[in-house]
Amino acid sequence: LGLRYVVITSVTRDDLPDGGSSQFAQTIRAIHEYDQNIAVEVLIPDFQGSTSCLQTVVDASPAVLNHNIETVPRFYSEVRPQARYRQSLDLLKQAKLLDNRLLTKSGLMLGLGESRREVIEVMADLRQAACDLLTIGQYLQPSLEHHRLVRYVRPEEFEEYQIVGKKLGFVSVMSGPLVRSSFHAAEMYISATRTSKRKPGSSAANESYRKDK
């Protein structure tokens, strides 16, 4: 396929003893065994706060570790009842402590009724957790059973959040109505590795991908 950047995700597997962390790690390693020049981004669950599960994934040397914060703390009981806001922040912080070369990433969906102040507070919390990359997009209600869509966020608001994100110190921010966690993921990675003095993830993958571009 000639791929140079791959994004891997899964459904949450809290039913498994390791939350699926070993499968993430095996997949990353299998890709690198096939071609060490492929950069791999993983979008992981919170592993219920398990450091050992997180370590399993980090040890496989992904280029980017993504865990979406999803929404502001006020809506966690409705939107993410199985998760905890601080636990998600701690996961991102812990990932960077386990490997400070690793690029970390998170994402927010807007339109649930959150205020501008709440959004910026979450962005600041993510930077406090040393999160490098951020995506911000429009929430779309999947079904009547899900949290209702309160409003469509104006394009200029998304543009403002992108500016705020850069001021807060995110290496790269994608913010817009159509943005999702994998939106222009490779481009965000390129931007981060070009502007950062660090060389995150597999060094071979990092250098090869940048040269190809």
pLDDT in tens, 85-94: 999 999 999 9
Model-level pTM?
A: 0.89
Helices (H), 42-179: 51-58, 76-79, 85-98, 116-128, 155-168
Residue 204, pLDDT above cutoff 70: no
- For 5-206, give the CATH class: alpha beta
State the pLDDT at residue 197.
53
Q: What is the tens place of the pLDDT at every residue in 34-79?
A: 999 999 999 999 999 999 999 999 999 999 999 999 999 999 998 8
* Structure token digits, residue 156: 């200029």
- Percentage, residues of the chain above pLDDT 70: 92
**CB distance 42 to 26 below 8 Å:** no
- pLDDT at 211 exceeding the cut of 80: no
Examine the pLDDT at 158 and tell me if it is beyond 60. yes
pLDDT value, residue 3 = 86
| CB-based contacts of 32-37 (< 8 A; 24+ apart in sequence) | 32/61, 32/202, 32/205, 36/202, 36/204, 36/205, 37/4, 37/204, 37/205, 37/208, 37/209
Query: Per-domain residue ranges for the chain?
Result: 5-206
pLDDT of residue 133: 98
